[in-house]
Amino acid sequence: MPSFIAPDECEPIFGELLNALPWQQETVVDGDETYKQPRLTAWVGDLPYSYAGITHPPNYEVDYSLLRV
């Protein structure tokens, strides 16, 4: 199976994204229960993005040289 990104390129790209993006763990409210999502998310964009009652505001503070990734 062909790789989308060559295996020797994956780790440096992952490290760059891990360190450069504003990762956060969102809180979900489900009825009377509140819990943290089991994943980190990072929204990058000029417009807000919403799903499952969570809204990510626009994020302009990202180094757009990451677009090459």
Distance CA(59)–CA(47), nearest Å, equals 8
pTM over 0.85: no
pLDDT digits (tens, 9 = 90+) for 18-48: 888 889 999 888 889 999 989 999 888 889 9
Average pLDDT of the chain? 84
Pick the more confident residue, 3 or 48.
48
Q: What is the reported pLDDT for 60?
A: 76
Phi, psi of 2 (to 5 degrees): -70, 145
Q: What is the reported pLDDT for 39?
A: 92
* Contact in structure between 58 and 45 (CB atoms under 8 Å): yes
For residue 1, pLDDT beyond 60: no
Query: Which spans in the chain are helix H?
Result: 7-20
